[in-house]
Amino acid sequence: MNTTTEHATEHDHADAHDHAMTDAKYIRIALILAAITALEVSTYYVDFGPLFLPSLLIMMVIKFVMVVSYFMHLKFDSKVFSLMFYTGLGLAVSVYAVALATFKFFIS
């Protein structure tokens, strides 16, 4: 085996070790996501008044960031990938708000 291949293998192994998360951390994140989902479902049964839509959007953003950061390992990748994901999130929220405004959702 030549030195280039040995160096690449050692580097790949080091990267895999640095980004490893324990099962307990994954379970903790899953429980947090489940709790936020339960709060989202509760908005159907509890009258949040004018805070209904902002609370759902905030919970959506928190869940999105947690999923892409930990389950998709974006937290450990290049900042360019983070920028792409968060730009996509901003565009999605904007398009959703425009769609709701088109159907006069915000007018009482």
| pLDDT given for residue 14 in this prediction | 47
- What is the distance of C-alpha 55 from the center of its chain? 16
- List CB contacts of 62: < 8 A, sequence separation 6 or more: 36
Identify whether 58 is part of a domain.
yes
Print the domain residue range for 16.
3-102
Prediction pTM value: 0.61
- 39 found inside a domain: yes
107 domain residue, yes or no: no
pLDDT at 55: 93
In a domain, 34, yes or no: yes
Q: What is the pLDDT along the chain (108 residues), one digit of tens a residue?
A: 555 555 555 555 545 445 678 889 999 999 999 999 999 999 989 988 888 889 998 998 899 889 888 888 787 788 898 888 889 878 998 998 888 888 877 676
Total number of domains in the chain: 1
